[in-house]
Amino acid sequence: MKIGIVGLGFVGLSLTSVLASKGYDTVGIDADEEKCEKISNGDSPFFEPKLEKILRSGLKKKLTVSDDLSLIKDCDMIFVTVGTPQSKNGSIELTMLKKSVRTIGKILRENKKNPVVIIKSTVIPGTTQKVILPILEKESKKKAGKEFGLISNPEFLQESTAIRDTEFPHVIVLGGYQTKYMEKTRTFFSKLHPNTSIIITNHQTAEMIKYANNSFLATKISFINQLSNICQNIPGSNIDDIAKTIGLDPRIGKLFLNAGPGYGGSCLPKDMKALIKFAGDIGINPTLLNAVEKINHTQINQIVSLLEKKVGSISSKQITILGTAFKPNTDDIRDSIAIELIKKLLKKKAKITIHDPKAIRNTKNVFGGKICYDESITRALNNSYCAIIMTQWKQFGELNNKSIKCMKRKLIIDCRRILANKKLDAEYYALGIGK
């Protein structure tokens, strides 16, 4: 079996690398020639633990990486993993997806294998049937379900654990018509992941499952952050003990109850906005989802208010931000709360120095010379009036009195409570712990 993957971003490259490492004849396609060359040399264009190891394993077997989409012409399965970025009004942008599908359709016209086209790109309900299907049938001159298959297969990968999530998914969702192509796809996944449940449904439901999943996770985060804000004003109250306890209730579960400055990244914010926009378009007022979004945005204000309460005017004062990646073990700063915090502090004319183990380069791409960067935590803290811990990097838990001795004012705002059990000669405030 030969497999093609169109789009080598976070999802596509993870899938390509894992399939190739398992011995599948794999073709990875991306429009960016420079990116393809880098990947062909065994280098990932972004940081993801274990990815390069798996990629290099795949390259030693049967993996081709190219910007030439025609190489998928003899594939049995074609996974579409191109991005669907957010537009200004909150809806998803389908330009890249349409372009890729249009070209795939033209290639299908010459393909004698009658492949299965599998859509992993995140799209609102109805997109596969109303947008993708007509394009494929028009360009291929073929009928879906008879001469090629079309399956919706949403992904549930988390950055920092993408390889594990690709190798051992918690569930596989397949949406589409009950044809031989669905059975072919089900058989493929059951062999690839023999211990994983496979849910077979229609296109619209499969698409909605992805949004339901992410919006529920966002809701859990905003819920625990709301409780954290309450705890902040109750002397002695500790949000971590509360989260740990309620997480033991099987009806609630322990995941995504880590209170902090708010959710970020490439998925949750984008998918929440897209679902809210979609709900409005079909005449539904998503009251709860709007509240989740509102709570998330107010978290930054909590941090800024606490900072100004302790420091006063921050104009011309150096503030150190520890962590700009939206989560640890990634260099991704897309929709990172830390980036939004920096923008707010710059408007107040603060001088910003940042340190992040992996995300400095990406942060420079946003701010350029407007802020300062340092590879050393200790140097980043030099002459600082306050250190704000935004990302839960384990390195930040190693901060000690020696690390902070050169701070102008030894004030720490710990949004992740990493240092809550440490004795520091500093003014220490942890979100979610009442004083």
Architecture of domain 2-201: 3-Layer(aba) Sandwich (3.40)
Q: Where residue 435 falls among pLDDT bands split at 50, 70, 90?
A: confident
Mean pLDDT value across residues 221-245: 96
* Residue 110 pLDDT greater than 90, yes or no: no
* Residue 119 pLDDT greater than 90, yes or no: yes
pLDDT tens digit sequence for 339-383? 999 999 999 999 999 999 999 999 999 999 999 999 999 999 999
Q: What is the pTM of this model?
A: 0.94
Structure tokens at 35: 């990116």
Distance between CA atoms of 326 and 264, rounded to whole angstroms?
A: 6
Mean pLDDT value across residues 148-170: 96
Distance between CA atoms of 394 and 397, rounded to whole angstroms?
A: 5
State which amino acid sits at residue 233.
N
pLDDT tens digit sequence for 329-338? 999 999 999 9
The confidence score (pLDDT) of residue 235 equals 95
Cα 28 vs. chain centroid, distance in angstroms? 21
The confidence score (pLDDT) of residue 239 equals 97
**What is the pLDDT of the chain when averaged over all its residues?**
96
Name the residue ranges covered by the structural domains of the chain.
2-201, 247-430
* Residue 113 pLDDT greater than 90, yes or no: no
The confidence score (pLDDT) of residue 112 equals 81
Count of residues making up the chain:
435
Q: 247-430 — its CATH code?
A: 3.40.50.720
Which residues belong to the active site? 267
State which amino acid sits at residue 143.
K
Distance between CA atoms of 386 and 404, rounded to whole angstroms?
A: 10
The confidence score (pLDDT) of residue 340 equals 97
| 247-430 shares the fold of 2-201 | yes
The confidence score (pLDDT) of residue 111 equals 81
Distance between CA atoms of 118 and 174, rounded to whole angstroms?
A: 9
Q: Where residue 1 falls among pLDDT bands split at 50, 70, 90?
A: very high
* Residue 396 pLDDT greater than 90, yes or no: yes
